[in-house]
Structure 1
Amino acid sequence: MTQIPTDDPTIQLDQFLKIMNLVATGGQAKMVIQGGFVEVNGETETRRKRKLRHGDLVSFEGTTLQVEFDE
């Protein structure tokens, strides 16, 4: 599991997808999110600015990752 270094206890969904290398660009992140291909905590999420918090589960193309922040 990769931890995200940040001072903010949230991260936007599109940024998370890029940081975790699930997509190559912000444009690709926008397309897959708005296209309904990404789930957050088991539910389809179409808002790319959705704030993720510690413990959230993000699923895309058969990969599920849990959001974790460095302390």
Structure 2
Amino acid sequence: MSHPVRDVPITGAPIRLGQFLKLAGLAEDGAHAKDLIEAEEVTVNGETETRRGRQLTEGDVVAVGGEQGRVTTG
């Protein structure tokens, strides 16, 4: 059973996936974010994402394991 989606407010969209993982607390730091992405453990809107520089916009849902965060602005 997955956890509920948590809204993560950002200032100014878009935001890169690696940055969002850190901001949302899904990764400890940039190196951890890179490792998670390279291990194909990160999904964006239900699809595996392997690009750390993937641009996220409002409403995108990022998941690592059972943890999920939704990009929100404002």
| TM-score normalised by the chain length of structure 1 | 0.88
TM alignment of 1:37-52, pairs within 5 A:
37-52=41-56
TM alignment of 1:48-67, pairs within 5 A:
48-67=52-71
Count of aligned pairs: 68
Structure with greater proportional strand content: 2
Point out which structure has higher relative CO (alpha carbons under 8 A, 6+ apart): 2
SS in 1 for 2:69: strand
Gaps of 5+ in 1: none
| TM-score normalised by the chain length of structure 2 | 0.85
Rounded to whole Å, the distance in 2 between the matches of 1:30 and 1:2 is 20
What is the letter of the counterpart of residue 3 of structure 1? P
The superposition leaves residues 20-69 of structure 1 with CA deviations (integer Å, 9 ceiling, x where unpaired) of 11111100000101110000011000000000000001111101211101
CA RMSD, 1 decimal: 1.0
Rounded to whole Å, the distance in 1 between the matches of 2:27 and 2:68 is 14
Identity among equivalent pairs (%):
44
